[in-house]
Amino acid sequence: MRMANTISRRVFAFLILTLFLISPTVAGNLRGTGDLGLIVERAAGSIQIIETTNNTSLGRIKGLGDLSHASAVFSRDARFAFIFGRDGGLTKVDLLTRKIVKRVIQGGNSIGGAISDDGRMVAVSNYSPGGVKIFRTDTLEMIADIPATYGQVIKKGTTTITISGQSKTVGLVDAPGKKFVFSLYNAGEIWVADCSKCLEGVKPKITKFKNVGKLPYDGLITGDGRTYIAGLFGEDGMVKLDLWQDKLKAERILDGYGKGEKKLPVYKMPHLEGWALAGNRFFLPAIGHHELLVMDAGSFKQIGSFPVYGQPVFAMARPDGRQIWVNFAHPRNDTVQVIDTHTMKLLKEFKPGKAVLHMEFTPRGEQVWISVRDADRIDIYDTKTLKLVKSLPAQKPSGIFFAARAMRTGL
């Protein structure tokens, strides 16, 4: 009887402890996820989970491997993030419990990924061994492997040269209709993978566009999911693919892009994600020049340019398109400029600190978060007053990604 009593007391104590331990954790986690986001801390291999309603940090998740150049996409319920690390790691994290759900090393050297419009598939792009792999978002089980094998036969008189190999893949994006689009760096090709039936075990249907230009280094898809554009490292100009046409055809655009003037050394290739759509104009970073190019979004022709402080890396449009926020390559990476796209005037120039690496707007654009790596700091600005609202500490922060990206094509 006494023993039974002691046992029951122990169980009792254990239960009370359990209740106390569980309740705050679970209650603390019971929250909306639409205002969540993450900050990549590249040196530490960790991410910080933040929220943008009260601008606070909620915690940190460690053990994500090599996060240099890491990026993230989000599940359609805005609860989970899929993080693409440089070491080929694909990590699914739970923003609510702030735990790693699963982590797989899917390649040797990865360079970004994308999530399908139905949220059921995540695709990863690899430098080594090249190619694209596609995984189920619920289990991270691989459902398709697309090696980027290419071959070319060149005949010169009586000589035949055969080139073949595995290409690095870059500029991977999602497109409406469960499609992924990406570029083959070494092959100069763009591939469209239709994954409508990948979840049923059917291989993706690949459409290949060859000889699109030399060394495509990055790509983007317009917010409406209609136009894929790749930048070319090996030549002037870019290449676009209008996915709405019945007969898809890769077309060259901006043929003078970067030509005609003595080039400056290029310190950092600009990110094509940083193409800013404002009304019917794109603002895009000029490569190696201290300017943004202004392009008509209908004709894809350059219609002007805007001088900026340094070589632009990201030119990000506030969601309404009224402002463009620009950061720059080393050695001018301590500065941010804000441009009014309507008056075409410089609104503000300021120096948050060394190594401004990334900027992310809240979905409705009232605030922007800026990572200042060497200051170990995130700065949050009000985009109406252009004033600093708050700073948060972060360990060598690079990319900032908000869960609202789940609602957008190509992000």
Angle formed at CA 176 by CA 255 and CA 169, multiple of 5 degrees:
55
Q: Token pair of 43, please?
A: 């040196």
Residue 294's beta-bridge partner residues?
A: 283, 304
The strand ranges marked E within 169-226 are: 169-175, 179-184, 189-194, 205-209, 216-221
Find the shortest distance in angstroms from Cβ 299 to a copy of itself. Answer: 11
Among the listed residues 320, 311, 314, the one whose alpha carbon sits nearest the alpha carbon of residue 291: 311
Residues 141 and 129: their CA atoms lie apart, in Å, by 19
Taking the least distance from each CB to a copy of itself, the nearer of 336 and 403 is 403
Q: Token pair of 349, please?
A: 């120039």
Q: Token pair of 322, please?
A: 């009224």
Question: 311-340 mask for a copy of itself (x: CB under 8 A)?
Answer: --------xxxx------------------
Query: Which span sits near a copy of itself by CB under 8 A: 85-93, 95-103, 258-266, 307-315?
Result: 95-103
Q: Judged by CB under 8 A, does residue 136 bind a copy of itself?
A: no
Selected binder of a copy of itself within 364, 374, 388, 393 (CB under 8 A): 364
Local structure of residue 207 (DSSP, 8 states) = E
Taking the least distance from each CB to a copy of itself, the nearer of 23 and 207 is 23
Using CB under 8 A as the binding criterion, the count of chain residues that bind a copy of itself stands at 67
Q: Judged by CB under 8 A, does residue 360 bind a copy of itself?
A: no
Local structure of residue 63 (DSSP, 8 states) = -
Taking the least distance from each CB to a copy of itself, the nearer of 67 and 195 is 195
Query: Which span sits near a copy of itself by CB under 8 A: 34-42, 157-165, 248-256, 373-381?
Result: 34-42
Query: Which span sits near a copy of itself by CB under 8 A: 153-161, 163-171, 222-230, 344-352?
Result: 222-230
Q: Judged by CB under 8 A, does residue 388 bind a copy of itself?
A: no
Query: Which span sits near a copy of itself by CB under 8 A: 10-18, 57-65, 202-210, 254-262?
Result: 10-18
Radius of gyration over every alpha carbon of the chain, rounded to an integer in angstroms: 23
Selected binder of a copy of itself within 26, 43, 202, 206 (CB under 8 A): 26
Q: Is the dihedral of CA 64, 146, 207, 215 positive or negative?
A: positive
Q: Token pair of 211, please?
A: 């000889």
Q: Judged by CB under 8 A, does residue 72 bind a copy of itself?
A: no
* Whole-number Cα distances in Å, 130 to 179, 183, 337: 19, 11, 37
Distance of CA 347 to the CA centre of its chain: 27
Taking the least distance from each CB to a copy of itself, the nearer of 177 and 304 is 177
Classify burial at 11, counting beta carbons within 10 Å of its beta carbon; exposed 0-12, middle 13-18, buried 19 or more.
Answer: exposed
Selected binder of a copy of itself within 244, 263, 349, 351 (CB under 8 A): 244
The enclosing H or E element of 249 equals none
Taking the least distance from each CB to a copy of itself, the nearer of 290 and 390 is 390
φ, ψ (nearest 5 deg) of residue 92: -100, 120
Selected binder of a copy of itself within 205, 342, 351, 354 (CB under 8 A): 342
Tell me how far apart the terminal alpha carbons of the chain are, to the nearest angstrom. 65
Binding site for a copy of itself (CB under 8 A): 1, 4-5, 8-9, 11-12, 15-16, 18-19, 22-23, 26-27, 29-36, 51-53, 74-80, 95-97, 117-119, 176-178, 196, 224-226, 244, 279-280, 298, 319-322, 342, 362-366, 384, 403-404, 406-409
